[in-house]
Structure 1
């Protein structure tokens, strides 16, 4: 079997019995095993692969007993060492990024067993390997967090930061819109360097940089988890934008005030039903051509 193939599978702990025997028969088997043992104590951020490789080459040149017989296998080991260290550094610093598209939802498990439900057109970023020392997630869009007991972390958004104290809560970060609703436990929302504590039923809402007062939330979970979007006295443009995300369409308003407040809901399961839900209360007419919808004031 090819030497490189066996080493690659060995590094991935993926050798079968036949391959393992072939790997043990390699002439530099002992060197590779010693290399593996040395890697266990390696600290990625402190390693300079270029510097160490130069040191190895310098040692080889200064040795009085260098021979072609041992230089080649040693160089192979040095090359493998540099590659392994580079891979280790890369895999321990890369972030995990979860993205949902239009009309798509998904659920993600965090390293501490907390779960995150992502609404349509949202992005969640975190690092699995550094989670113990850097408990942070970055969010663009909307997500419902169900935090494992005893866990805590920060949710970083463009507008503000949500401090988790062990709870269930929803965060929505869109253009000029930032909302946090606490459903269970306690969360802290930091906005403009000031922290606001939210208890179950409490909300924190910022629209166009202004804080908006909201009624007590009586639901146990956000409506979008059940494929429905609900609105209470929110600008109509927020309704339209959410409709576009859930159905992957483009809406044009003609003669409609986008700042007019709207109270109501629409389903995510039927576009025909949904469009009537957002037009009839305001006495609007609509026309649709493929993914383009026009709403007009009667």
Structure 2
């Protein structure tokens, strides 16, 4: 306390001559002198007591705005809800929609314009709902039957070719290197490599390894929708691939003859009959080695 009093008196130049001499001889004097020199230029405004009192009274009159805790909670919930709606909207409209049909299954669904699609086993379709009426475009892997509602151009894109229509019924199959299109109603435009073909009711076209085959069909819809697989000049490997998809089984072939072409029908709901037809046609013997595996050996 005595030291603080001495320091205060020194700052106010109130020390006696003897006290000043003793203070200047102290080890802390040099430090105090520097502080005094640095602060000498500082100026403090005159203190207005009335102005400060008036400011305090005005602040007291202002009622602070308090947001109840439940309102804060509701605002937070509303923000989360709006965000969730935004994410849902983006997911439903901008992110591609995908429909699949696993082996041994068949999937039927409607597009945004009520066009009907039936996916055959082991197939997939993807499309975007956003602006669908003006851009009816989808991508197909495998096989599907389409009953298209009238409207703008409808495009089915595959890795082998493209099919474009306005409103019709048709079937598209793209398996490995074989591309089949059948028109059941109306007209369809098929693009394959640099070739473009127009199909009308009852006409069919097949592309395989660069070769083109044109045929006519009498049925009003795909045979596979009537639980039959229809083959037109297909080799045994393609035939067995389709049987595996339809029945969700594995087939092993031990035969030298893999080039003979098959034209005919196989059932999709009776595996025993299907195996008998294949065995008779290719002179093979079918052996069921497990619940889901068949081996064909030469007789």
TM-score normalised to the size of structure 2? 0.71
2:287 aligned partner:
287
1:220-260 Cα deviation digits (max 9, x unpaired): 21110100012122111111111111111111111242221
Q: Distance in 1 between matches of 2:120 and 2:298?
A: 30
Deviation, 1:150, is: 4.2
Distance 1:225 1:84 in 2: 39
Distance in 1 of aligned mates of 2:92 and 2:145? 28
1:218 and 2:224 aligned? no
SS of alignment partner, residue 114 of structure 2: coil
CA shift, 1:126, in A, is: 1.8
Matching residue of 1:264: 264
Equivalent residues in 2 for 1:95-114 (5 A)? 95-114=96-115
What TM-score does the superposition give when structure 1 sets the normalisation length?
0.71
1:40-189 aligned within 5 A: 69=67, 76=76, 81-150=82-151, 152-189=153-190
In the alignment, the residues of structure 1 paired with residue 292 and residue 73 of structure 2 have an alpha-carbon distance, to the nearest angstrom, of: 62
For 2:263 and 2:148, how far apart are their aligned partners in 1? Answer: 30
Q: For residue 43 of structure 1, what is the aligned residue in structure 2? A: none
Partner Cα distance (2:270, 2:205) in 1: 30
Structure-1 separation of matches of 2:75 and 2:259: 69
SS at match of 1:214: strand
Q: 1:69 to 1:180 in 2, by over 3 A?
A: same
| 1:200 matched residue in structure 2 | 201
- Pair 79,102 (structure 1): closer, same or farther in 2 beyond 3 Å: closer
Aligned-pair CA distance for 1:74? 10
User: Structure 1 residue runs of 4+, over 6 Å off?
Assistant: none
| Preserved CA contact (<8 Å) 1:256 1:296 | no
Asked if 1:228 corresponds to 2:236, the answer is no
Unaligned runs of 5+ in 2: 1-63
SS in 1 for 2:134: coil
Paired residue total: 233
Aligned to 1:5: none
Supply the distance in 1 between the matched residues of 2:185 and 2:159 (Cα, whole angstroms).
24
Gaps of 5+ in 1: 1-65
The answer to whether the Cα contact below 8 Å between 1:264 and 1:278 also exists between their aligned partners in 2 is: no
Q: Which is greater in Rg?
A: 2
Contact 2:162 2:192 in 1 (8 A): yes
Give 1:136 shift: 0.8
Q: For 2:65 and 2:128, locate their aligned partners in 1 and report how far apart those are by CA, in whole Å.
A: 46
